[in-house]
Amino acid sequence: MKQTALPPQPDARSPAGAEIRFVMDGPPGNMIHGTVPPGQINRATVHATVHEFWYVLEGTGEIWRRQGGEERVTGLTPGVSIDIPRGTAFQYRCTGATPLKFICVTMPPWPGDDEATPLDGPWTPTVGDRA
């Protein structure tokens, strides 16, 4: 059995550009806390092997998702949950005056940053390339 607390500072940046704090991990998956500052537009990516569930805690934003013949932009506000199935192209941004904060569960566990392949999305990213 594990118990964790939310770290006060970010542990890393996601391949898309969000600040992430590692919350929990185990054989079925990982849980992170993501933060996107006001005005930030993250890079569009697609995941090779993982499926994600998100739950929005604070702030406002939008996420674009495209899979097969379906494409949509969904508003991100507190209480909204979304999924990002494996192979779904997606891009997200903070549209409010306060940071967008969310919980993300990844299944299976995140294998590393090579999991995410950059691609063109509907918005021009405001974060630089990963080093």
What values do phi and psi take at 101, rounded to 5? -125, 135
Supply the pLDDT for residue 131: 42
Strands (E), 17-86: 19-26, 29-36, 44-47, 51-58, 61-67, 70-76, 81-84
What values do phi and psi take at 114, rounded to 5? -70, -10
Supply the pLDDT for residue 25: 95
* Omega of the bond leading into 108 within 30 degrees of 0 (cis): yes
Please name each of the domains of the chain with its CATH number.
Answer: 12-111 (2.60.120.10)
pTM of the model: 0.94
Q: Which residues have C-beta within 8 Å of that of residue 23, sequence separation ≥ 6?
A: 4, 6, 31, 32, 33, 103
**Strand pairing report for 61-67 and 89-94:** antiparallel
Supply the pLDDT for residue 113: 87
Q: Walk along the chain (131 residues) in steps of 10 and give the mean pLDDT of each run.
A: 95 95 96 98 97 98 96 98 98 98 97 94 85 42
Supply the pLDDT for residue 15: 94
Q: Which residue has the tokens 């590692």?
A: 22
Contact 76/63 with Cβ under 8 angstroms?
yes
